Amino acid sequence: MNARAPKSRFTGNFTQQKPIPDAGIKAALAVMQSGRLHRYNVTKGELGETALLEREFASAMGAKYCLAVASGGAALSISLRAIGVKPGQTVLTNAFTLAPVPGAIANVGAVPAFVDVTDNLVIDLDHLDQMIAQTDARTLLLSHMRGHICQMERLMDLCNRAKIQVIEDCAHTMGARWNETLSGRFGQVGCYSTQTYKHMNSGEGGLIISDDATAMARATMLSGSYMLYERHGAGPEAASFKDICLETPNCSARMDNLRAALLRPQLTELAENCTAWTERYRVVEAGLSGTSGLKLIERPNAEAFVGSSIQFLLPEFSPTQITTLIDAVAARGVELKWFGAASPQGFTSRYSSWTYAPKQSLPQTDRVLDGLMDMRLPLTFSLADCALIAAIIRDEVQGVATI
Protein backbone atom coordinates (compact mmCIF):
# COMPACT_ATOMS: atom_id res chain seq x y z
CA MET A 1 0.00 0.00 0.00
CA ASN A 2 1.21 3.46 -0.83
CA ALA A 3 1.25 5.48 2.37
CA ARG A 4 2.34 8.72 0.73
CA ALA A 5 -0.06 11.64 0.94
CA PRO A 6 -1.45 12.85 -2.41
CA LYS A 7 0.67 15.59 -3.92
CA SER A 8 -0.54 19.12 -3.28
CA ARG A 9 -1.68 21.13 -6.30
CA PHE A 10 -1.96 24.86 -6.94
CA THR A 11 -5.06 25.96 -8.84
CA GLY A 12 -4.47 29.72 -9.31
CA ASN A 13 -3.79 31.47 -12.61
CA PHE A 14 -0.31 32.92 -13.19
CA THR A 15 -1.56 35.46 -15.73
CA GLN A 16 -4.53 36.74 -13.70
CA GLN A 17 -4.04 40.42 -12.81
CA LYS A 18 -6.11 42.37 -10.32
CA PRO A 19 -9.20 44.09 -11.72
CA ILE A 20 -8.93 47.76 -12.69
CA PRO A 21 -9.86 49.87 -9.61
CA ASP A 22 -13.50 50.97 -9.55
CA ALA A 23 -12.42 54.59 -9.86
CA GLY A 24 -10.62 53.70 -13.11
CA ILE A 25 -13.63 51.89 -14.52
CA LYS A 26 -15.82 54.85 -13.62
CA ALA A 27 -13.42 57.34 -15.22
CA ALA A 28 -13.13 55.14 -18.33
CA LEU A 29 -16.92 55.02 -18.63
CA ALA A 30 -17.05 58.81 -18.39
CA VAL A 31 -14.49 59.10 -21.21
CA MET A 32 -16.55 56.72 -23.35
CA GLN A 33 -19.74 58.61 -22.59
CA SER A 34 -18.04 61.85 -23.61
CA GLY A 35 -16.96 60.30 -26.91
CA ARG A 36 -13.67 62.24 -26.58
CA LEU A 37 -11.10 59.48 -26.51
CA HIS A 38 -8.31 61.19 -28.46
CA ARG A 39 -5.90 62.99 -26.15
CA TYR A 40 -6.19 66.29 -28.03
CA ASN A 41 -9.99 66.18 -28.14
CA VAL A 42 -10.30 68.62 -25.24
CA THR A 43 -11.97 71.96 -24.80
CA LYS A 44 -9.83 75.06 -24.50
CA GLY A 45 -7.83 75.05 -21.30
CA GLU A 46 -9.13 71.60 -20.31
CA LEU A 47 -6.62 68.94 -19.25
CA GLY A 48 -7.80 65.52 -20.46
CA GLU A 49 -7.08 62.23 -18.72
CA THR A 50 -3.81 61.75 -20.66
CA ALA A 51 -2.45 65.18 -19.73
CA LEU A 52 -3.47 64.63 -16.09
CA LEU A 53 -1.74 61.25 -16.05
CA GLU A 54 1.43 62.90 -17.34
CA ARG A 55 1.26 65.54 -14.66
CA GLU A 56 0.65 63.00 -11.89
CA PHE A 57 3.31 60.55 -13.08
CA ALA A 58 5.95 63.29 -13.40
CA SER A 59 5.15 64.37 -9.86
CA ALA A 60 5.19 60.79 -8.48
CA MET A 61 8.61 60.18 -10.06
CA GLY A 62 9.99 63.61 -9.19
CA ALA A 63 10.66 64.38 -12.86
CA LYS A 64 10.24 67.71 -14.62
CA TYR A 65 8.61 66.18 -17.69
CA CYS A 66 6.48 63.17 -18.58
CA LEU A 67 5.06 61.97 -21.89
CA ALA A 68 2.47 59.19 -22.23
CA VAL A 69 2.78 56.98 -25.32
CA ALA A 70 1.29 53.88 -26.92
CA SER A 71 3.59 51.20 -25.46
CA GLY A 72 6.76 50.57 -23.48
CA GLY A 73 8.55 49.64 -26.70
CA ALA A 74 7.43 52.93 -28.28
CA ALA A 75 8.73 54.78 -25.20
CA LEU A 76 12.15 53.18 -25.73
CA SER A 77 12.48 53.84 -29.46
CA ILE A 78 11.13 57.40 -29.13
CA SER A 79 13.62 58.07 -26.31
CA LEU A 80 16.55 56.70 -28.31
CA ARG A 81 15.68 58.96 -31.22
CA ALA A 82 14.93 61.92 -28.96
CA ILE A 83 18.41 61.85 -27.41
CA GLY A 84 19.95 61.78 -30.87
CA VAL A 85 20.68 58.14 -31.68
CA LYS A 86 21.15 57.86 -35.45
CA PRO A 87 20.77 54.93 -37.87
CA GLY A 88 23.86 52.73 -37.94
CA GLN A 89 25.08 53.74 -34.47
CA THR A 90 25.85 51.09 -31.89
CA VAL A 91 23.65 51.04 -28.79
CA LEU A 92 24.75 48.97 -25.80
CA THR A 93 22.10 46.98 -23.96
CA ASN A 94 21.68 44.01 -21.63
CA ALA A 95 22.11 40.51 -23.07
CA PHE A 96 19.45 39.44 -20.55
CA THR A 97 16.36 41.42 -21.47
CA LEU A 98 13.06 41.17 -23.32
CA ALA A 99 12.68 41.27 -27.11
CA PRO A 100 11.16 44.84 -27.28
CA VAL A 101 14.45 46.28 -25.95
CA PRO A 102 16.77 45.27 -28.83
CA GLY A 103 13.65 45.73 -30.97
CA ALA A 104 13.49 49.42 -30.02
CA ILE A 105 17.16 49.84 -31.01
CA ALA A 106 16.50 48.19 -34.37
CA ASN A 107 13.41 50.37 -34.77
CA VAL A 108 15.59 53.50 -34.98
CA GLY A 109 17.99 51.79 -37.38
CA ALA A 110 20.69 51.48 -34.72
CA VAL A 111 22.64 48.33 -33.92
CA PRO A 112 22.32 46.47 -30.59
CA ALA A 113 25.51 45.30 -28.85
CA PHE A 114 24.92 43.09 -25.84
CA VAL A 115 26.54 43.31 -22.42
CA ASP A 116 26.87 40.23 -20.18
CA VAL A 117 24.59 39.44 -17.26
CA THR A 118 26.01 38.44 -13.84
CA ASP A 119 24.88 35.57 -11.57
CA ASN A 120 22.81 38.18 -9.76
CA LEU A 121 20.97 38.98 -13.02
CA VAL A 122 22.26 42.54 -13.45
CA ILE A 123 24.39 44.03 -16.19
CA ASP A 124 28.09 43.08 -15.75
CA LEU A 125 29.80 46.42 -15.15
CA ASP A 126 33.27 45.09 -16.01
CA HIS A 127 31.98 43.84 -19.34
CA LEU A 128 30.18 47.15 -19.85
CA ASP A 129 33.49 48.93 -19.32
CA GLN A 130 35.11 46.68 -21.95
CA MET A 131 32.27 47.13 -24.42
CA ILE A 132 32.48 50.92 -24.04
CA ALA A 133 36.18 50.69 -24.87
CA GLN A 134 35.71 48.24 -27.76
CA THR A 135 32.77 49.86 -29.56
CA ASP A 136 31.94 53.37 -30.75
CA ALA A 137 28.68 53.32 -28.75
CA ARG A 138 27.54 56.63 -27.24
CA THR A 139 24.37 55.22 -25.67
CA LEU A 140 23.38 52.55 -23.15
CA LEU A 141 19.80 51.30 -23.10
CA LEU A 142 19.90 49.87 -19.58
CA SER A 143 17.21 47.27 -18.94
CA HIS A 144 16.39 46.60 -15.28
CA MET A 145 15.22 43.20 -16.48
CA ARG A 146 12.84 41.39 -14.11
CA GLY A 147 13.39 44.18 -11.60
CA HIS A 148 17.08 43.57 -10.85
CA ILE A 149 18.98 46.83 -10.32
CA CYS A 150 22.78 47.00 -10.64
CA GLN A 151 25.08 49.27 -8.60
CA MET A 152 23.72 52.44 -10.11
CA GLU A 153 26.37 54.81 -8.75
CA ARG A 154 29.13 52.76 -10.37
CA LEU A 155 27.21 52.41 -13.62
CA MET A 156 26.52 56.13 -13.87
CA ASP A 157 30.10 56.97 -13.00
CA LEU A 158 31.37 54.64 -15.70
CA CYS A 159 28.96 56.05 -18.30
CA ASN A 160 29.49 59.69 -17.34
CA ARG A 161 33.26 59.35 -17.62
CA ALA A 162 32.91 57.79 -21.09
CA LYS A 163 30.16 60.32 -22.09
CA ILE A 164 27.69 57.50 -22.64
CA GLN A 165 24.03 58.60 -22.52
CA VAL A 166 21.83 56.32 -20.42
CA ILE A 167 18.19 55.46 -21.03
CA GLU A 168 16.63 53.32 -18.31
CA ASP A 169 14.11 50.63 -19.25
CA CYS A 170 12.00 50.49 -16.08
CA ALA A 171 9.34 48.07 -17.34
CA HIS A 172 9.90 45.96 -14.20
CA THR A 173 11.09 48.69 -11.81
CA MET A 174 8.24 51.19 -11.76
CA GLY A 175 8.16 52.13 -8.06
CA ALA A 176 11.52 50.50 -7.24
CA ARG A 177 14.50 52.36 -5.78
CA TRP A 178 18.26 52.09 -5.55
CA ASN A 179 19.69 53.78 -2.42
CA GLU A 180 16.44 55.73 -2.06
CA THR A 181 16.50 57.11 -5.62
CA LEU A 182 13.63 55.98 -7.84
CA SER A 183 14.55 53.75 -10.75
CA GLY A 184 14.26 55.89 -13.88
CA ARG A 185 15.88 58.93 -12.22
CA PHE A 186 19.53 57.97 -12.80
CA GLY A 187 19.66 58.09 -16.60
CA GLN A 188 18.88 60.96 -18.93
CA VAL A 189 15.50 59.36 -19.66
CA GLY A 190 13.38 56.74 -17.89
CA CYS A 191 10.88 54.55 -19.78
CA TYR A 192 7.96 52.55 -18.39
CA SER A 193 5.39 50.13 -19.76
CA THR A 194 1.74 49.97 -18.73
CA GLN A 195 1.15 46.75 -20.62
CA THR A 196 -1.00 44.25 -18.69
CA TYR A 197 1.85 42.33 -17.03
CA LYS A 198 3.70 45.37 -15.66
CA HIS A 199 3.10 47.46 -12.53
CA MET A 200 0.18 49.46 -13.91
CA ASN A 201 -2.22 47.93 -16.41
CA SER A 202 -3.90 49.64 -19.36
CA GLY A 203 -3.57 46.70 -21.76
CA GLU A 204 -0.90 48.58 -23.70
CA GLY A 205 0.79 51.86 -22.92
CA GLY A 206 4.06 53.56 -22.03
CA LEU A 207 5.46 56.53 -20.12
CA ILE A 208 8.66 58.54 -20.57
CA ILE A 209 10.18 60.80 -17.91
CA SER A 210 13.15 63.17 -18.07
CA ASP A 211 14.45 66.56 -16.96
CA ASP A 212 15.88 67.24 -20.44
CA ALA A 213 13.64 69.81 -22.17
CA THR A 214 15.05 69.37 -25.68
CA ALA A 215 14.88 65.56 -25.59
CA MET A 216 11.31 65.72 -24.25
CA ALA A 217 10.25 68.25 -26.88
CA ARG A 218 11.59 65.89 -29.55
CA ALA A 219 9.92 62.91 -27.86
CA THR A 220 6.61 64.80 -27.83
CA MET A 221 6.80 65.56 -31.57
CA LEU A 222 7.87 61.96 -32.29
CA SER A 223 4.89 60.63 -30.32
CA GLY A 224 2.61 62.43 -32.75
CA SER A 225 1.71 65.73 -31.11
CA TYR A 226 1.25 67.68 -34.35
CA MET A 227 1.39 71.37 -33.30
CA LEU A 228 -0.74 70.59 -30.24
CA TYR A 229 2.22 70.08 -27.93
CA GLU A 230 0.95 72.76 -25.56
CA ARG A 231 -1.94 70.47 -24.61
CA HIS A 232 0.33 68.28 -22.52
CA GLY A 233 0.29 67.81 -18.77
CA ALA A 234 4.01 67.86 -18.01
CA GLY A 235 5.76 68.91 -21.20
CA PRO A 236 8.52 71.43 -21.80
CA GLU A 237 7.77 75.11 -22.47
CA ALA A 238 6.71 76.06 -26.00
CA ALA A 239 10.16 77.64 -26.54
CA SER A 240 11.77 74.17 -26.44
CA PHE A 241 9.77 73.23 -29.55
CA LYS A 242 10.75 76.24 -31.62
CA ASP A 243 13.82 74.79 -33.29
CA ILE A 244 12.78 71.15 -33.47
CA CYS A 245 9.06 71.08 -34.26
CA LEU A 246 9.42 71.00 -38.04
CA GLU A 247 12.48 68.79 -38.29
CA THR A 248 11.12 66.06 -35.97
CA PRO A 249 8.88 63.45 -37.64
CA ASN A 250 5.45 62.49 -36.31
CA CYS A 251 5.65 58.76 -35.60
CA SER A 252 2.10 58.47 -34.24
CA ALA A 253 2.40 56.63 -30.93
CA ARG A 254 0.11 58.56 -28.63
CA MET A 255 -1.73 57.35 -25.56
CA ASP A 256 -5.50 57.92 -25.49
CA ASN A 257 -7.77 59.20 -22.73
CA LEU A 258 -9.40 55.82 -22.17
CA ARG A 259 -6.18 54.14 -21.16
CA ALA A 260 -5.05 57.13 -19.14
CA ALA A 261 -8.35 57.00 -17.24
CA LEU A 262 -7.63 53.38 -16.30
CA LEU A 263 -4.12 54.28 -15.13
CA ARG A 264 -4.59 57.34 -12.93
CA PRO A 265 -6.23 55.49 -9.98
CA GLN A 266 -3.58 52.76 -10.31
CA LEU A 267 -0.86 55.34 -9.79
CA THR A 268 -2.48 56.17 -6.45
CA GLU A 269 -2.24 52.49 -5.50
CA LEU A 270 1.27 51.93 -6.88
CA ALA A 271 3.22 52.06 -3.60
CA GLU A 272 0.75 49.77 -1.88
CA ASN A 273 0.86 47.29 -4.78
CA CYS A 274 4.66 47.33 -4.85
CA THR A 275 4.71 46.39 -1.15
CA ALA A 276 2.21 43.59 -1.76
CA TRP A 277 4.32 42.20 -4.64
CA THR A 278 7.45 42.16 -2.56
CA GLU A 279 5.65 40.42 0.34
CA ARG A 280 4.72 37.66 -2.09
CA TYR A 281 8.27 37.49 -3.39
CA ARG A 282 9.66 37.16 0.13
CA VAL A 283 7.29 34.27 0.93
CA VAL A 284 8.36 32.33 -2.19
CA GLU A 285 12.00 33.18 -1.53
CA ALA A 286 11.78 31.92 2.07
CA GLY A 287 10.03 28.75 0.90
CA LEU A 288 12.76 28.02 -1.64
CA SER A 289 15.70 28.96 0.53
CA GLY A 290 18.01 26.07 1.40
CA THR A 291 16.74 23.87 -1.46
CA SER A 292 19.72 21.82 -2.55
CA GLY A 293 20.79 22.63 -6.12
CA LEU A 294 18.66 25.81 -6.26
CA LYS A 295 20.39 29.20 -6.08
CA LEU A 296 18.34 32.25 -5.11
CA ILE A 297 19.31 35.67 -6.41
CA GLU A 298 21.01 37.91 -3.82
CA ARG A 299 19.16 41.20 -3.38
CA PRO A 300 21.42 43.99 -2.12
CA ASN A 301 20.26 46.20 0.75
CA ALA A 302 20.46 49.25 -1.50
CA GLU A 303 17.83 47.73 -3.79
CA ALA A 304 14.19 48.39 -2.89
CA PHE A 305 12.86 46.10 -5.60
CA VAL A 306 9.31 45.25 -6.68
CA GLY A 307 8.80 41.48 -6.54
CA SER A 308 6.29 41.14 -9.38
CA SER A 309 8.23 38.06 -10.53
CA ILE A 310 10.90 35.82 -9.04
CA GLN A 311 13.94 34.16 -10.60
CA PHE A 312 16.27 31.42 -9.40
CA LEU A 313 19.13 29.41 -10.86
CA LEU A 314 19.60 25.66 -11.22
CA PRO A 315 23.30 25.81 -12.14
CA GLU A 316 23.95 22.05 -12.10
CA PHE A 317 20.77 20.92 -13.83
CA SER A 318 20.97 19.46 -17.36
CA PRO A 319 18.46 20.63 -19.99
CA THR A 320 16.60 17.32 -19.55
CA GLN A 321 16.37 17.82 -15.81
CA ILE A 322 15.04 21.34 -16.33
CA THR A 323 12.34 20.31 -18.78
CA THR A 324 11.42 17.41 -16.46
CA LEU A 325 11.08 19.93 -13.61
CA ILE A 326 8.96 22.32 -15.71
CA ASP A 327 6.60 19.43 -16.57
CA ALA A 328 6.50 18.15 -12.99
CA VAL A 329 5.58 21.51 -11.46
CA ALA A 330 3.14 22.21 -14.34
CA ALA A 331 1.35 18.96 -13.47
CA ARG A 332 0.86 20.49 -10.01
CA GLY A 333 -0.37 23.84 -11.36
CA VAL A 334 2.88 25.87 -11.22
CA GLU A 335 4.10 27.76 -14.30
CA LEU A 336 7.86 28.09 -14.51
CA LYS A 337 9.59 29.70 -17.49
CA TRP A 338 13.12 28.94 -18.59
CA PHE A 339 15.53 31.34 -20.30
CA GLY A 340 17.80 28.48 -21.39
CA ALA A 341 15.50 26.89 -23.98
CA ALA A 342 17.12 26.40 -27.38
CA SER A 343 14.33 28.25 -29.20
CA PRO A 344 12.17 31.20 -28.02
CA GLN A 345 8.96 30.24 -26.21
CA GLY A 346 6.05 32.53 -25.37
CA PHE A 347 7.43 35.83 -24.08
CA THR A 348 10.80 34.28 -23.28
CA SER A 349 13.77 34.48 -25.64
CA ARG A 350 17.51 35.08 -25.40
CA TYR A 351 20.01 37.37 -27.11
CA SER A 352 21.14 34.75 -29.63
CA SER A 353 17.60 34.48 -31.01
CA TRP A 354 17.57 38.17 -32.12
CA THR A 355 19.40 37.38 -35.35
CA TYR A 356 18.97 40.91 -36.79
CA ALA A 357 21.70 41.97 -34.32
CA PRO A 358 25.34 41.21 -35.09
CA LYS A 359 26.26 37.80 -33.72
CA GLN A 360 28.01 37.77 -30.35
CA SER A 361 29.32 34.97 -28.23
CA LEU A 362 28.75 35.58 -24.50
CA PRO A 363 29.70 32.41 -22.60
CA GLN A 364 29.04 33.94 -19.17
CA THR A 365 25.52 35.00 -20.17
CA ASP A 366 24.91 31.60 -21.78
CA ARG A 367 25.90 29.86 -18.55
CA VAL A 368 23.54 32.05 -16.47
CA LEU A 369 20.59 31.77 -18.89
CA ASP A 370 21.04 27.98 -19.19
CA GLY A 371 20.02 27.58 -15.55
CA LEU A 372 17.67 30.56 -15.19
CA MET A 373 14.07 29.97 -14.11
CA ASP A 374 11.42 32.66 -13.97
CA MET A 375 7.96 32.89 -12.45
CA ARG A 376 5.31 35.61 -12.33
CA LEU A 377 3.74 36.62 -9.00
CA PRO A 378 0.43 38.32 -9.75
CA LEU A 379 -1.27 40.21 -6.92
CA THR A 380 -4.25 37.86 -7.16
CA PHE A 381 -2.08 35.25 -5.34
CA SER A 382 -2.42 35.19 -1.55
CA LEU A 383 0.59 34.74 0.72
CA ALA A 384 -0.65 31.18 1.38
CA ASP A 385 -0.72 30.57 -2.40
CA CYS A 386 2.91 31.73 -2.56
CA ALA A 387 3.92 29.37 0.24
CA LEU A 388 2.22 26.46 -1.54
CA ILE A 389 3.89 27.32 -4.87
CA ALA A 390 7.31 27.41 -3.18
CA ALA A 391 6.66 24.05 -1.48
CA ILE A 392 5.73 22.46 -4.83
CA ILE A 393 8.85 23.81 -6.55
CA ARG A 394 11.08 22.73 -3.66
CA ASP A 395 9.58 19.25 -3.65
CA GLU A 396 9.99 18.73 -7.40
CA VAL A 397 13.50 20.26 -7.55
CA GLN A 398 14.53 17.71 -4.92
CA GLY A 399 12.86 14.91 -6.90
CA VAL A 400 14.47 15.91 -10.20
CA ALA A 401 17.91 16.47 -8.61
CA THR A 402 18.22 12.73 -8.06
CA ILE A 403 17.50 11.62 -11.66
Binding region for ligand PLP (CB under 6 A): 71-73, 97-98, 100-101, 143, 145, 169, 171-172, 193, 195, 206
Of 10 and 96, which has the nearer Cβ to ligand PLP? 96
As measured in angstroms, the least distance from the Cβ of 72 to ligand PLP is: 2
Give yes or no for a contact between 203 and 69, defined as CB atoms under 8 angstroms apart. no
Taking CB atoms within 8 Å and a gap of at least 24, the contacts of 353-361 are 354/99, 354/102, 354/103, 354/112, 356/102, 356/106, 357/102, 357/106, 357/111, 357/112, 357/113, 357/114, 358/111, 358/113, 360/95, 360/113, 360/114
Give yes or no for a contact between 215 and 345, defined as CB atoms under 8 angstroms apart. no
As measured in angstroms, the least distance from the Cβ of 149 to ligand PLP is: 13
As measured in angstroms, the least distance from the Cβ of 43 to ligand PLP is: 30
Of 174 and 386, which has the nearer Cβ to ligand PLP? 174
Of 145 and 390, which has the nearer Cβ to ligand PLP? 145
As measured in angstroms, the least distance from the Cβ of 316 to ligand PLP is: 28
Cα separation values, 326 from 10, 16, 198, 298, 329, Å: 14, 20, 24, 23, 5
Of 94 and 165, which has the nearer Cβ to ligand PLP? 94
CB-based closest residue to ligand PLP: 72
What do you get for the CA distance between the two ends of the chain, in Å?
24
Of 74 and 304, which has the nearer Cβ to ligand PLP? 74
Of 114 and 241, which has the nearer Cβ to ligand PLP? 114
As measured in angstroms, the least distance from the Cβ of 195 to ligand PLP is: 4
As measured in angstroms, the least distance from the Cβ of 193 to ligand PLP is: 3
Give yes or no for a contact between 96 and 369, defined as CB atoms under 8 angstroms apart. yes
As measured in angstroms, the least distance from the Cβ of 338 to ligand PLP is: 17
- Specify which residues 337 forms β-bridges with: 374
Of 145 and 329, which has the nearer Cβ to ligand PLP? 145
Of 66 and 145, which has the nearer Cβ to ligand PLP? 145
As measured in angstroms, the least distance from the Cβ of 386 to ligand PLP is: 21
Give the residue among 81, 25, 108 at the shortest CA–CA distance from 67.
Answer: 81
What count of other Cβ atoms lies within 10 Å of the Cβ of residue 42?
Answer: 17
As measured in angstroms, the least distance from the Cβ of 204 to ligand PLP is: 6
As measured in angstroms, the least distance from the Cβ of 143 to ligand PLP is: 5
Of 83 and 191, which has the nearer Cβ to ligand PLP? 191
Distance CA 6, CA 84 (A): 61
What is the chain's alpha carbon radius of gyration, rounded to the nearest angstrom? Answer: 22
- Specify which residues 113 forms β-bridges with: 92
Of 138 and 144, which has the nearer Cβ to ligand PLP? 144
